[in-house]
């Protein structure tokens, strides 16, 4: 059987989302910047989508800007705030997505900023005391920390980080790509200047995302070339993608409690079975802690074996789609920077299983059975 267990990389498009998108792909094809009837109809659909997203997040429509995805939204927040606000110091962690880490490293190499990495422990938890130390010793900083880690599933204490940033007048950018649509976000209560989302992580289309910008935080655009998105992002809007994003987020909020119960049950089922069937199995970060990690992600560390290098290949042959870490680096010979920062031993195989509302117990059972069969061999001593 086939088992798709790589939902942290991308999710299946919800049929309700496709249905909402189709009219914008066929009958309503006007340019939303045009003033004639065809354009006005599409502009109306675009602004309804913006209002939907804003309402779900307890934000104002004027605070939501649509982008091509999470990476562009991250770049807009980071580059825009550094350039516009004259920030010279940025703080992040070694566990961030490359959309954040590589962007900040590039700016540091150019001499635009000094970059500090906050310490993490062996479980990948952010050292909040060290974060406060970094905030207190240098000028006003940009703090960029993700809500849910895409590889090990650790959840950040947003309230604690937000309070520290407020205390030291720091700009707080939070990559919420992995938690958007899976956890409620009340932007009236969250002390973040920027958050981001990507539709394909919550059963929407690929190639579309959004950036929330807190009121009073003005930044220059990252993409120039037009007055779209209230002069914040040049280029004709991906309207059917935006409508799909809004519908996907609406469904996610509508069914969030039901889907969370279903997915948490599957994750616990896999944890219990792996512990029962594979001696020496471990879980990276806080991945096996159901209270402190993403319920959609399980990062598994398997004992030394002569089949470790071929684990993902063998899973693929058995019809199981999973990842060796972040999907953004799959196929690369460079190991996961997240697992490297956690000093996970090099002789262990690591696989990330990630679940969605469409995942079944049969898929989980099949994956566990295949992994258990592979590790029946004698381990390497």
Residues classed as catalytic:
328
- Best CA proximity match to 155, nearest among 123, 130, 181: 123
HEC-encoded secondary structure of the chain: CCEECECCCCCCCCHHHHHHHHHHHCCCCCCCCCCCHHHHHHHHHHHHHHHHHHHHHCCCHHHEEEECCHHHHHHHHHHHHHHHHCCCEEEECCCCCHHHHHHHHHHHHCCCCEEEECCECCCCCECHHHHHHHHHHCCCEEEECCCECCCCCEECCHHHHHHHHHHCCCEEEEECCCCECCECCCCCCCCCCEEEEEHHHCCCCCCCEEEEECCCCCCCCCCCCCCHHHHCCCCCCCHHHHHHHHHHHHHHHHCHHHHHHHHHHHHHHHHHHHHHHCCCCEECCCCCCCCCECCCEEEEEECCCCCHHHHHHHHHHCCEECECCCHHHCCCCCCCHHHHHCCCCCCCEEEEEECCCCCCHHHHHHHHHHHHHHCCCCCCC
Closest to 145 measured CA to CA, from 201, 202, 190: 190
**Can you state the angle between helices 98-109 and 70-85, rounded to 10 degrees?**
30
Residue 153 phi/psi, 5-degree rounding, is: 80, 0
**Sign of the four-CA dihedral 159, 160, 165, 167:** positive
CA distances from 99 to 106, 158, 187, 316, 321 (A): 11, 20, 22, 27, 24
């Amino acid at each position: 059987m086939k088992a798709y267990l790589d939902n942290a990389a991308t999710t299946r498009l919800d049929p309700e989302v496709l249905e909402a998108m189709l009219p914008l792909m066929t009958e309503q094809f006007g340019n939303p910047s045009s003033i004639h009837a065809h354009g006005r109809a599409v502009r109306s659909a675009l602004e309804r989508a913006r209002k939907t997203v804003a309402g779900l997040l307890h934000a104002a429509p004027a605070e939501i800007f649509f982008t091509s995805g999470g990476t562009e939204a991250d770049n807009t927040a980071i580059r825009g705030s550094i350039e516009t606000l004259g920030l010279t110091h940025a703080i992040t962690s070694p566990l961030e997505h490359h959309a954040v880490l590589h962007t900040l490293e590039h700016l540091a190499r150019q001499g635009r900023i000094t970059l500090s990495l906050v310490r993490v422990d062996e479980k990948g938890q952010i050292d909040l005391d060290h974060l406060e130390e970094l905030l207190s010793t240098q000028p006003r900083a940009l703090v960029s920390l993700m809500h849910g880690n895409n590889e090990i599933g650790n959840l950040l204490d947003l309230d604690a980080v937000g309070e520290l940033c407020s205390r030291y007048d720091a700009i707080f950018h939070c990559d919420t790509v992995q938690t958007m649509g899976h956890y409620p976000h009340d932007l009236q209560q969250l002390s973040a200047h920027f958050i981001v989302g990507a539709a394909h992580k919550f059963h929407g289309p690929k190639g579309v995302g959004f950036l929330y910008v807190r009121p009073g935080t003005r930044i220059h655009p990252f993409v120039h070339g037009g007055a779209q998105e209230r002069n914040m992002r040049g280029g004709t809007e991906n309207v059917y993608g935006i409508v799909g994003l809004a519908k996907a987020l609406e469904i996610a909020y509508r069914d969030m409690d039901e889907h969370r119960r279903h997915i948490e049950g599957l994750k616990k089922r896999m944890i219990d079975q792996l512990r029962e069937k594979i001696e020496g199995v471990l879980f990276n970060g806080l991945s096996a802690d159901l209270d402190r990690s993403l319920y959609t992600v399980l990062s598994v560390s398997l004992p030394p074996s002569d089949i470790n290098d071929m684990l993902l290949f063998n899973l693929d042959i058995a019809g199981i789609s999973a990842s060796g870490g972040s999907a953004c680096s799959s196929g690369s010979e460079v190991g996961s920077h997240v697992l490297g920062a956690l000093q996970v031993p090099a002789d262990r195989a690591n696989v990330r299983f990630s679940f969605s509302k469409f995942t079944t117990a049969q898929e989980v059972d099949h994956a566990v059975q295949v992994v258990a069969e592979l590790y029946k061999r004698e381990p390497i001593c």
